[in-house]
Structure 1
């Protein structure tokens, strides 16, 4: 792919948008500081300018949500969301613009015949449609429900069938590739089988049509932390929001138990409502149906030891592979995948094991030898919604209450759960929030208040930096808005300011 260099400049001088509801200094609350919440804060700063007050509430003591790493012997290991596709334009560009280092994760090689060709073609068709999202968002397109987005870009039918059924319709048979590669990738990515919806399944396979995978050397959670710094958000850690209530002044009060956390002109919820336990009290509004999407439990376990070849019936002397993935024929196994993350000086390996249940001692003795292993880290996650086919209209709305400024970032996750999808959803919520805040009592067109987000671009190749026939032209501008200095949260958390000029390689 050809490269272009785009200098992203902080627009400190453009005139602020007019806010009909919030006057000159809108206050916005973001609940959750994972990649959805942090990128929502970032895009809110872009859309609302330096005068907006952005408060981010997080129940945990650090930002990152389901992005989490731990350190062992000076090495950082990803225990949550682990890998990023280079074609994910928001995640890739944001990581670069924040000065973070991209490194390659361990690779897996596959060998299949013509069925791989047909699978690549099927994935490419879906990817071309998905890539049109970026151009649409650059033009200000917003969606009030996931169904509006998937219908707009021609992917709605993919949500309504399983990946197995979709591949059957495309290839005409159930192939070895489907039972092995597709099944294994879905177990690794979602800990789910080939009965998940076709859109989620195909997005898991995007590297088949080009591009690479990467992770962040400093830890993927650093993307979220850096975004919050650039956004100049006030951070409130170890605060669990339990309620959102409307007020007589057309604002929204956030509650932690009986304690008021403040009143806001708009609220963005960037945490799964199925897990967050937030109660709503919105005068004159009918509560939307509570999301009923069960979440897939995933256990991430890091073990130090040496895999026994006998467990896998590998002939002596041939050596153990670095990655073990579960195929459809291996569904009886407790683990979903095993990956060697690092080989230590004494010959031991640091392995990451995914499973649906805790790994018992007997299994680990079988894998590594009795008493010859040590657990370094374990985390139980409610990692992803169960992504079975559903009518996309069954997904929760983004605008939770018609005529109100409460926006649900994670609504899109009911159909596809991925870091890039949450960033797309976050930008959509920020656009909707600006439209809501800019609307005045006379119902003026909110889009008229949109600031112009200009970039300076100089091409090192003279060609386009887009990829894929559905790329929609230029990569989204990521103009950095610096918040006023002297910020800081009520809980004492520091606000790290972003640089005015950031070089992004696209």
Structure 2
């Protein structure tokens, strides 16, 4: 990235679903917006449904939620405005810790209390016993993080930003952004090559050696690195460190939220399972209730197969959905695929006296991009962390 001054090496396990990408070919990156009607499901019935009429949506929304939507969205916008200052800050300075960056943005205190506590304490959820927060806000935190309003207020408010109309998604999936970054950097990438060990050598100055397994499970080494950037959660990396120790403060093992994903081709059984006769909603949020067996359902796309329009849905849940349950929720089911992954840390408020993981792991030479996701976990904040670390590296090699 720093022209000829830096030797680039990147070791990454690539998602086999997306295949190998030719680094010489420019990957297409585009953006799209979705517009489907929303429903909020409590495990028994829809407590709120959008319809085609703007005025009916406005009236029913005001009747059920009062002005709480305005108060909460204004607060989310206020926090977003603070957060967006990070781009100007990174033009002129760098940050050596997560705390330092968040304090510069005046956002650090929000990581020490829950979203529920913040919204209710500031009387943003006072109408109808806080129904808006218990239904809409909770629905958004469940779909974005699989967690309730007990997550920290900063990440909770950032999650609410995704409810505004100008949020876009990447055509083909977020991984396209990473492909494009690798293409732009002309990086040497070792696919399916997990790093097993990083060794510090101080015999002739400070140098690092990276050991990794190649695609044939043979151990290989690459020597002579001046700087190392780790961009994967250490909880799952199984990397051994030799010649230096990780800082103890803030490096406690983080619990991660297990997320189950089901991809379904079929028709949402709105009439029999959900008890509605219309063709909407096609976008379903859920409340934090023992009766709710999934976190969200979204119509991901529609496509034509031999003259027949088919619908592809994505379902998030905290536990795997049985084939029987999916058969109840969908009709004309022609394809189903389920997987699970630890998508993000459990984003509880930061306990008193506890620090976030360190951005710098060894003498301004080994850096940790994923330290940032303990505060709030988004692809954008990982990019911000990466940019900050790239600037830290640049400062030390000039």
In structure 1, runs of 5+ residues without a counterpart are 1-44, 63-67, 71-96, 439-506
How high is the TM-score relative to the length of structure 2?
A: 0.82
Q: In 2, Cα distance between the equivalents of 1:120 and 1:253?
A: 48
- Residue in structure 2 matched with residue 131 of structure 1 by the alignment: 84
Deviations 1:429-471 (A, max 9, x none): 1011112223xxxxxxxxxxxxxxxxxxxxxxxxxxxxxxxxx
- Separation in 2 of the partners of 1:344 and 1:407? 43
- Measure, in 2, the Cα distance between the counterparts of 1:391 and 1:211: 34
- Deviation, 1:338, is 0.8
Question: Pick from 349, 352, 355: which aligns with 2:311?
Answer: 349
Are 1:189 and 2:144 counterparts? Answer: yes
* Counterpart-to-counterpart distance in 2, 1:218 and 1:122: 32
In the alignment, is the contact (CA less than 8 A) between 1:69 and 1:219 conserved in 2?
Answer: no
- In the TM superposition, residue 291 of structure 1 has moved relative to its aligned partner by 3.6
Q: CA deviation at 1:394?
A: 2.3
Tell me how far apart the structure 1 counterparts of residues 222 and 14 of structure 2 sit (CA, whole Å): 16
Q: 1:334 to 1:375 in 2, by over 3 A?
A: farther
In 2, the alpha carbon distance for the partners of 1:207 and 1:225 equals 23
Distance between the aligned counterparts of 1:344 and 1:52, measured in 2?
Answer: 45
SS at match of 1:181: helix
Structure with the largest fraction of strand = 2
Q: By how many angstroms is 1:400 displaced? A: 1.0
- Structure 2 contact 369–382 (Cα < 8 Å) conserved: yes
1:115 aligned to 2:68?
yes
Picking from 329, 335, 356, the partner of 1:395 is 356
User: Once superposed, what is the RMSD of the aligned Cα atoms?
Assistant: 2.4
Is residue 247–residue 358 contact of structure 2 (8 Å, CA) maintained in 1? Answer: no
Secondary structure of the residue aligned to 1:310 is: coil
CA distance in 1: counterparts of 2:266 and 2:172, whole angstroms: 25
Of 274, 295, 306, which residue of structure 2 is paired with 1:336?
Answer: 295
The answer for the alignment partner of 1:319 in structure 2 is: 279
CA 1:171 to 1:421, structure 2 compared with 1: closer, same or farther past 3 Å? same
SS, match of residue 263 in structure 1: strand
CA contact (8 A) 1:244 1:254 kept: yes
Partner of 1:176 in structure 2?
131
Query: Is the CA contact 1:298–1:382 (under 8 Å) kept in the aligned structure 2?
Result: yes
Partner of 2:238: 277
After superposition, the C-alpha distances for 1:206-260 in whole angstroms (9 at most, x for unaligned) are 255x651212224332221111111111111111101111012311111126532
Counterpart selection for 2:272 from 305, 310, 313: 310
Matched, 1:52 2:6: yes
1:206 maps to 2:169: no
Asked if the contact 1:266/1:433 (under 8 Å) is kept, the reply is: yes
- What is the SS of the residue equivalent to 2:359? coil
For residue 188 of structure 1, report the CA deviation from its aligned partner.
0.8
How big is the shift at 1:375? 3.5
User: 1:154 aligns to what?
Assistant: 106
Alpha carbons 1:61, 1:237 under 8 Å: kept:
no
Give the alignment's TM-score, normalised by structure 1. Answer: 0.65
Distance 1:349 1:218 in 2: 16
Structure 2 residue aligned with 1:490: none
Q: Note the C-alpha offset of 1:376.
A: 3.8
Residue of structure 2 equivalent to 1:228: 182
Distance in 2 separating the partners of 1:166 and 1:394: 21
Corresponding residue to 2:30 among 68, 76, 101: 101
Corresponding position of 1:499: none
Q: Which residue of 2 aligns with 1:413?
A: 373
The 3 A distance-change label for structure 1 pair 298 and 359 is same
Gaps of 5+ in 2: 20-25, 39-49, 51-60, 214-218
Q: Is the 8 A contact 1:342 1:351 kept in 2?
A: yes
Question: SS in structure 1 opposite 2:327?
Answer: helix
The number of residues matched between the two structures is: 352
> In 2 relative to 1, CA 299–373 (structure 1 residues): closer, same or farther, beyond 3 Å?
same
Q: What CA distance in whole angstroms lies between the structure 1 residues aligned with 2:220 and 2:279?
A: 59
Given that 1:105 and 1:213 are in contact with CA atoms closer than 8 Å, whether structure 2 keeps it comes out as: no
SS of equivalent residue, structure 1 residue 338: strand
Structure 1 pair 108–133 and aligned structure 2 pair: CA distance change class (3 A): farther
